[in-house]
Chains A and B, each alone.
Chain A
Amino acid sequence: MAATPLVELQDLTKRYGDGPVVLDQVSLAAQPGDFISLIGPSGCGKSTLLRLIAGLSPLTAGAVRISGHTPEQAAAELAFVFQDPTLLPWLTVAQNVGLPQQLRGLPPATRRATERRVLELVRLGDRAGAYPRQLSGGQKMRVSIARALSLSPKLLLLDEPFGALDEMTREHLNEELLAIRQLEAWTAFFVTHSVAEAVFLSNRILIMSANPGRFHAEIAVPFAYPRTEATRLSRDYHDLVTEVSRVLRSVEPPDA
């Protein structure tokens, strides 16, 4: 491919102290516009990988490059969506969404405009004045995503953001996430335990194996975007879910 990769991992290795190797010489190039899902058994280091890309944790060996820079230098270009909504309970929805800009010292007027824009994106414009505890689990997660989008990142790192939600809510949010991406065009790394979710969202699925964490296989998802409810009903979609599940089972440690 001719385009320069947005994210480049070179022989990335991570080890906590003298403990076991969590990630072992992982290499990858993500092109702008990629939606890459990371899936694998627990302990395969998929969340660790995300944290390394975000610069939240030091790497043991190898290199992470984001548009040619280190994660620290590229901090302004990336946003992280945690497993929990991690909203500040004493701030309103709008104030939570404006927090990253506030921390960056942007003036209130700019913040207000951004708050309105991203809350509209996640269809929570009418809940701007609510406090987090007045929201449902799915709504909280949408606020969390809106907050991540508030700095218009080029790279979005999502660590199992919908893992705690019920199936219906999760499917709705999957569709919403893709709809937003049609407008915003960011690149995404998405950690998940759900094969169906990975197939629906991504154009590339990386299946990881554990002990030590490595890329076991990559599966391309050929379906064109925008994807909708109809995608989920198609035969091809089901076949691919089956195939990914099969590969995933081959790396899962056998149950006792």
Chain B
Amino acid sequence: MPKRLLNVLLPAATGALFIVIWYAIRFSIGEEMQFLLPGPGEILAAFRDNGDSLARAALNTTEGALLGFAGAIVVSAALALTLSLSSLVRVSLYPYLMMLQMTPVIIFAPILVLWVGAGLKSVVVITFLICFFPLVVNTTQGLISTDRNLVELFRMYRASRRQEILLLRVPAALPYFFTGLRIAATLAPIGALVGDYTAGSSAGDGGGLGFQAIIYSSQAKYPALFATAAVTCVLGFVFVAIVLSLSWLALHQWHDSYERADA
């Protein structure tokens, strides 16, 4: 059987098995408990009944995720460049970067609401904080891991510091940057959702998926809750797909993580 066909059939079979188990559990827990685990049909119905509010929430969350993600890319690139230039700066700042990563952002959500106000701004800041760390760490690592022989080559040809950074260190760091970007892309929609959950606002239809989840659970609309999770999941896939495409565009010609174009 061709490998390509297997690559489609095997996941499909796993999915079918998953649904069978799902129904089996629903059947075994008895009818009065079945509200705890809605079936796929009910979830699809929830999509239909709550389509408008889900779509609006998804758009709001996407906006928050995109802004926070983009902000994290810009700031982390600038910071990574600074960190890569001096090991002294690196040593001075690194523990605090680690601290930022270890600190659960959620704890600051209430105070963040006071600082920048509930809603989109808070969501963006929380997404930013969650995406920031993997980006800055990977990019910095990439910028300082340049092949020593290539650095020597540039010195040999009396390249300026600027040339060394733009023509050597930055392109050499791209694979690392994209590794960070891939991690950040999976975190961005979740970050926006969590941000929305803890610091969201429904003012002016501004609520996102997190906010919608609170509403659905308070109304005991469990199928809609599952639908919300599914939307977030799809959003995550879209983010990762975009990053993977960009990564492919930037790297497939030359980087070993992609198969050779012609062997």
Q: Do A and B actually bind?
A: yes
- Residues in A lying within 8 Å of B, measured CB to CB: 54, 56, 75, 80, 82, 84, 86, 88-91, 99-100, 102-104, 131-134
Given contacts A86-B150, A90-B171, A103-B163, contact A80 B156 (CB under 8 A): yes
Q: Is the interface of B mostly helix, strand, loop or mixed?
A: helix
Q: Select A133's contact among B156, B168, B171, B260, beta carbons within 8 Å.
A: B260
In the complex, are the beta carbons of B159 and A103 less than 8 A apart?
Answer: yes
Indicate whether A103 sits within 8 Å of B154 (C-beta atoms), given known contacts A82-B149, A90-B171: yes
Size class of the contact patch on chain B:
20 to 34
Chain B residues with CB under 8 A of A100: 157
Which of A56, A75, A90, A102 lies in contact with B152, CB distance below 8 A? A56
A-B contact pairs, 23 of them (CB 8 A): A56-B152, A56-B155, A56-B156, A82-B149, A82-B152, A86-B149, A86-B150, A86-B153, A88-B171, A90-B174, A90-B253, A99-B157, A99-B167, A100-B157, A103-B154, A103-B157, A103-B167, A131-B254, A133-B254, A133-B256, A133-B260, A134-B260, A134-B262
A88 touching B156 by the CB < 8 A rule? Answer: no
Assess the A132–B254 pair: CB atoms within 8 A: yes
Do residues B153 and A82 form an inter-chain contact, with CB atoms below 8 A? yes
Q: Which residue on chain A has the smallest CB distance to residue B163?
A: A103
How many angstroms from the CA of A37 to the CA of B253 in the assembled complex? 38
Cα distance, A65 to B156, chains bound together (Å): 17
B residues adjacent to A (C-beta < 8 A): 147, 149-150, 152-159, 163, 167-168, 171-172, 174, 253-256, 260-262
Contact of B158 among A84, A86, A103, A132 (CB under 8 A): A103
A75-B158 Cα distance, complex, nearest whole Å: 8
Report the Cα distance A82→B159, complex, angstroms.
Answer: 17
| Chain A residues whose C-beta falls within 8 Å of the C-beta of B174 in the assembled complex | 90
Whole-angstrom distance from the CB of B156 to the nearest CB of chain A?
Answer: 5
Residues of A within 8 A of B253 (CB): 90, 131
For the complex, give the distance between the alpha carbons of A104 and B156 in Å.
Answer: 12
- In the bound complex, CA of A56 to CA of B174 (Å): 28
CA distance in complex: A134, B167 (Å): 21
> Is B254 in contact with A89, judged by CB distance below 8 angstroms?
yes
**Chain B residues closer than 8 Å to A75, beta-carbon distance:** 158
The answer to whether B260 touches A104, judged by C-beta atoms less than 8 angstroms apart, is: no
Name which residue of chain A comes closest to B250, CB basis: A90
Roughly how many angstroms separate A102 CA and B159 CA in the complex, as a whole number? Answer: 10
Q: Is the CB of A89 within 8 A of B152?
A: no
Task: Other than A89-B254, A90-B255, give 13 A-B pairs with Cβ distance below 8 A.
Answer: A56-B155, A56-B156, A82-B152, A84-B149, A86-B147, A86-B150, A86-B153, A90-B174, A90-B253, A90-B254, A103-B163, A131-B253, A134-B261
Instruction: Give Cα distance in the complex from A194 to B154, angstroms.
Output: 29
